[in-house]
Structures are given as C-alpha cells and as structure tokens.
Chains A and B, each alone.
Chain A
Amino acid sequence: MLENKAQLRLVKGDEATHEPYTIAMGPQHPATHGVLKLDLELDGETVLECKPTVGFLHRGVEKLAENLSYAQTLPLTDRLDYIASMANNVAYSIAVEKLLDIEVPLRAKYIRTMVMEMARLTGHLLWLATHALDIGAMTVFLYCFREREILLDMFEEICGARLTTSYTCIGGVRQDVTGHFLESLYDFTEDFPSKIKEYETLIDKNRIWLKRTQDVGIVSAEDAVSLGLTGPTLRGSGVDYDVRKHMPYDAYPYVKFEVPIGSKGDVYDRYRCRMEEMHQSNSIIRQCIEALPTGPIRAADAPDLVMPYGIQKKVAADATFSSGIIKLVKDSERYIEGDVYVAAEVPKGELGFYFVSDGKGVPYRMHIRSPSYIHIGALSFLCKGQMVADVIAIIGSVDVVLGECDR
C-alpha cells in the first residue's frame, strides 16, 4: 500500500525536479549494529529503495577453514555471532560430529543444550537492549545488560572467556561444569522471569512502543519463507519452523518446550516471539540442570587439539610438538569422504555448516549458512515504503549481527 503511494508520487511529479534524496546510512551509524551500510533513497522521510551493502567485516573464515584442521576452525566460529558464541560452537561441533560419525556422551549433550540456551538468552537480551535503544527506550538497554552480565560471568566460570568461548570441542565439551556453576545458573533461572516482566512493564504496554512496532515491517508467511528468513524473524510471521523441534540435536529431544509463533509478521510479533523464547529458554535450562546425567563429557574417539586424559605430563615434558597435540590433529584416517549439512537454531535463526570433505584432515570446502546474511538481504523488501524511523525498528527486529553476515 504505502509502497505504491510513495512511488506513485514520485512518478507523477516531474522527474527532473523530483529527485530522490539519497542517504548512506552506515557503515558508521549508531543504529546499524556494526558495519552494515544501507543506501536509502528517500522521498521526504519515506523510503523508496533500501540497498544493503555488506562485507566491511569480511575475514575469510570459510577460506581459512580449508587450511585448518576441524578442531582449529572451532575458535573462528566464536567470531561469527560474537554475541552468542556458545551457540556457534555447538552448531559447528554437531556438524563436524555428523561428518566424523561420532556419538556424543549424554552429559555433554545436556551441557551443550544448557549453554546453547544461555547463549540464546545473551543473544536475545542484547537484541532487546539495542532494539529498545534504537526506538528510544534507553532504560531497557541497561536493564538487559544487567542480566546479560550475569550470564557472561557464568560463561567465564566454565570456560575462562566471556565472549570468545570456544567451549565445545568435537565430540563433547572442553571442561565439565561445576556444582557451583549449576547452582548459580539455577538461581538465575529462578529470578529471570521476573526480570523479563520488568522489561515488559517498560515497553510492552507502552503506547509509543506499540505505535512504533505494530503494523510496521510486515512480512507475510509466504514472503518470509521465500526470503529465506529463519528463527524468530520467520516465526513472527506465523511459520512453525524451529530446527530444535524439526531436526533435533543434542538434548533437545529430551526437553519439553514450545515454539512461540506470531501471526501478523510485524515488528511487534517478532518482538513478542523473542520475549516468549526467553521464557522457553529459561525453562529448558532448568530442565537440563534437573536432568543432568553423570558420565564422561567427551567421546573417547574424538580428535581434538586437547590432549586426552593421562598424557598431559608426557606432553609437558616434550614441550610442544613431539607427541601429543599435533599427532592427534593430523590423525586423518577417520575422516569420511562426502558432503554434510547440519543446522542448529542459534538466537538469530538457522545457522548451518556445510562441509565437503575429501577424507583429509581439513575440509575441502566449508560453507556457513548464516541467518544474518539472509536477513540483511530481506531488508530491502521489508523497508520499502516505510519511514526512516521504521528502518531502524526493522533492522532491530530482524536481529542481524555483522560478524556472522560477513564471516
């Protein structure tokens, strides 16, 4: 509707005098979440055309992976969606495990599910923080960071890093979780629903918030599917698709959770989906803590950069290269030839890893299906005919992170 009106006005007027006003929003702009650049063509404040430009953060992760062993690529996945790096670690690991045909012990599966949901919370909290800040609600930003900080401290407790976690390894997780960690995480889950309520009191019933988000950036279910949207951005349009339900991995088959779905597909529905998802993640974490089985945390036959138990002393004596580390990595006989595509549900959507393997210790080709890249592609469809202020709300609602988009 709006789209046609704006374009009609432009066509009707004299072409020579009616020149669209072009604005380069980004790559340095407070609301484009990193180094996204949008070339906007405006008629007044109505957007006629929105052309996203990406690539400012390109680091060549896919190419780098061709020269690194599978285990060495894992830390690079931290730098994809650096807001929720745990989720990327898990997604990468399950893909490689499929390729190598390794079965992960049950305890590791539960721990992975737990950290993945924690990562979803950190991702969604940062999304809510920045989305609200873009629309002008400053306080929500700081409230969200308060809770995110607790989660990041817990990440630090289990793996020593807050953002670049590299916590999983092929065939399991790197370190076991402690009782203290589980206790503090459980306490967090007790508290967290009341915090979500706190955010909702600030924005959910706020007339200005509703006016800014409802009926803005609508995408129908068919369009959402054909644009390739995934995650909450897709579910906001009413499409029931969640990798955790439809292609379950790790401990997701053993936990109970619902997939929240929107109806209209506007910014508000996507916002509601993510808020509900936070409740679901919270409950998944609790179920994982309650059902956490005992046992090993790594598959016995998994190749990795970490030394197997028992030979640490020997390796320490040999300094670095002679026996332990490199030998294990180069142990390439167990790699299978063929293609594999495995996806996981990260906070942004479906993060897939596609490997082409020729049976060597390094992948022949690795491709990352990053949800952010595809969501940025959808921006030009979503923003057409909206106002400049809506562009900001829409960028926030599709939830993109440029580290993952440009990889």
Chain B
Amino acid sequence: MELLWILIKIVIVFAVVMLHVMYATYFERKVIGHMQVRMGPMRVGPHGILQPIADGLKLFFKEDIIPAEADKKVFYAAPLICLISALSAVAVLPFFEGFAIANINIGLLYIFAMSSLASYGVVLAGWSANSKYSFLGGLRSSAQVISYEIAMGLSLVGVMMLSGSLNLTDIVHAQMNSPYKIYLIPQIIGFFVFVVAMFAETNRTPFDLPEAESELVAGYCTEYSGMRFALFFMAEYIGMIVMSCLAVTCFLGGWSGPFDVPGIPFFWFLLKAYFFIFLYYWVRATLPRYRYDQLMALGWKVLIPLALFNIVLTGTIKSLFG
C-alpha cells in the first residue's frame, strides 16, 4: 500500500515537473519579452499558449545527429545523466506538510550530490562530442561547478547549524519554530551566497559561460540536436526549479506562510518558488555575462570567504545566545 502511494506521488510530481518545464519556457519567453518591449510568443494558440507544445513536437521530430568522431556511448549517456540526476533531486523536496516522495535524513546532501552529478553529464557531453567548442564548454562547466558547489555547500552550513538537521522537512519545521519564522534574516549572508551560487550552479546568466552562445556557439551542447538537445534543456529547467525550491525550503520557510490558504497547501511554496524562477528570468534580461577568470575569482575570492565568515558568525551567535 505504501509502495503504491509512493508510486502515485512519483507520477504526480513527475507530471507536474514536466508540465512546469514546458510552461517555464513559455513563462520565460513572455517575461523576457515584455521586459524587452516585445510580445513574446503570440502565434500558436491564444497569446502563444500552445507554443511549448509546438516546440516540443518540433524537437521530437528533428533529425538526431551524432558526430562521426563522437564517443557514441558517452554521447548517448550524457543528456540522460543530466536529466535523471535533475529529476531525482526533486524526490526529496517537501512541497507541503508531509508531502515529499522520499523524506530522508540527508535530503540536503542528496540534492548536492545530484546537482554535482548533473555537471558530470555536462562534462561528458562536452568531451564525448569530440568538438572543440563543446570541449571548451565542458571544461568551463567542470571548473565552474566545482568552485560554486563549495560556495553553495558552505552557504547552507549556517542553515544546518540553526536547524540541526539535514532533513528538508525538519529544516522547515525548525524555521517555523524560530523567532523570525524564516532563516532569511539570521542567515542573510548565507542567503546572498546561496542565490549567487544558485545561478552559477544552473549555468544561468550571468554565469552561463559553459553555453555562452556568443563565445562558444552553444558550449557543451553544440553538437546535440533534436530530442537529445531537449533533454539538456529540460535538465536545465528542472535544475532551476530544484534550486528555487531549495532556496524556499532553506531560507524562506518552505510551505509556511502568514496565513493558511484553505485547500491549497502548497500555495505559499509555489508562490515563493516562482519568485525565484522569476528572478532567474529577470537577471537574464538585465545582466551581461562574466568572463571565465572573473567568474572563478568571484567564486573563490568573494563567495567562499563570505560563506566561511557566515559559518563563524552563526556559530558564535549560536553558542553565545543559544
């Protein structure tokens, strides 16, 4: 019975996440479109509402090109690694009270592990295609993800110290019992580091160097086409939702809100998560792109020291004032 319930949950979450990916692209194009004094998609359906379906169909029926010199097995596996690891990370997210597919003790660590695995897919994609631009993109990605993974992990140590747990549901509960109800205020430095690292971790502007289209054509996915390219695309958007949900869970109090909305237990969670997703789009429409060495300098010289300082500060305050 329990297994069945888990299976049902998996199906629901999978369907919702996939639907989200489709309409996140639409949302992004509309948001950025209006920021850039244009309409965004308007042709397919009223206000372009069916555009994601048209795009999906197009990608599905496109020719699947594999470079002759590519390492075929790795080339096939890379997008799958990306997508599967991104999807697996969704499993531990508590969308509302008592709803997480896997309510495991090390939820936070698990998400880190999965997001590192996704970058493994990117590196393999860049390397297996045997193309120079892909290779450079893969190299950039590995360097970027390693440095920002550290900053991100360190930024969440403060949250772990305050809540005393790695379980995401427990972290939300601990926040609800804390004086400010959310960790945003006591962990403001950690939050800042996390948000910056979040953009780098998902390869989004201003840290979209691995796929910088004006420099490396399309970076690691230059040689991919059709559905395989779409898999990378989906992985990126799922990565965005995972990171947004993680930020909501760890800093903004998860599903808790100023008042309960009857019938929609995930209302506040969704609202907060979409704020971060909107932030992704907003930043993309506003900022230029960092250079490779500047990105590394920012990660190692600014974010990691800040995160370490945050840990020291949190520890000191915690031990002094309980």
Contact = CB atoms under 8 A, between A and B. Distances in A.
10 contacts: A22-B132, A30-B214, A45-B136, A136-B205, A138-B36, A139-B32, A139-B36, A208-B206, A212-B290, A212-B294
Given A31-B215, A142-B37, A388-B215, A136 B132 contact: no
B288 A137 contact: yes
Contacts of B136: 23, 45, 388
B58 interface: no
Contacts of B38: 142
A138 B38 CA distance: 13
Interface string A366-398: 000000000000000000000111111000000
Interface stretch (B101-109, B114-122, B230-238, B279-287): B279-287
A392 B215 contact: yes
Nearest to A32: B214
B201 interface: no
A206 B287 contact: yes
A136 B37 contact: no
A314 B209 CA distance: 66
Nearest to B208: A136
A206 B288 contact: yes
A181 interface: no
B206 A142 contact: no
A189 B292 CA distance: 40
A21 B132 contact: yes
A328 interface: no
Most buried by A among B32, B35, B215: B215
* Max chain A Cβ within 10 angstroms of own Cβ: one of B208, B209, B287, B290: B287
A136 B295 CA distance: 14
B293 interface: yes
Nearest to B297: A211
A158 B209 CA distance: 44
A209 interface: yes
Given A21-B132, A388-B136, A388-B216, 9 more contacts: A136-B214, A137-B287, A139-B286, A142-B36, A202-B286, A208-B206, A388-B215, A389-B292, A390-B291
A49 to B, nearest CB: 15
A198 to B, nearest CB: 10
A146 B38 CA distance: 10
A45 B292 CA distance: 8
Given A45-B292, A211-B294, A212-B291, A138 B214 contact: no
Interface of A: 21-23, 29-31, 45, 132-139, 142-143, 146, 202-203, 206, 208-209, 211-212, 387-392
Contacts of A134: 214
Contacts of B268: none
Contacts of A388: 136, 215-216, 292
B206 A139 contact: no
Contacts of B212: 136, 389
Interface in B181-239: 205-206, 208-209, 212-217
B214 A23 contact: no
B285 A138 contact: yes
Given A142-B38, A202-B286, A387 B293 contact: yes
B47 interface: no
Given A211-B294, A389-B212, A389-B291, A136 B206 contact: yes
B318 interface: no
B231 to A, nearest CB: 22
B287 A29 contact: no
Contact of B292 (A29, A137, A202, A387): A387
Contacts of B289: 135-136, 208, 212, 389
Contacts of A133: 214
A203 B289 CA distance: 11
B133 interface: yes
A146 B37 contact: yes
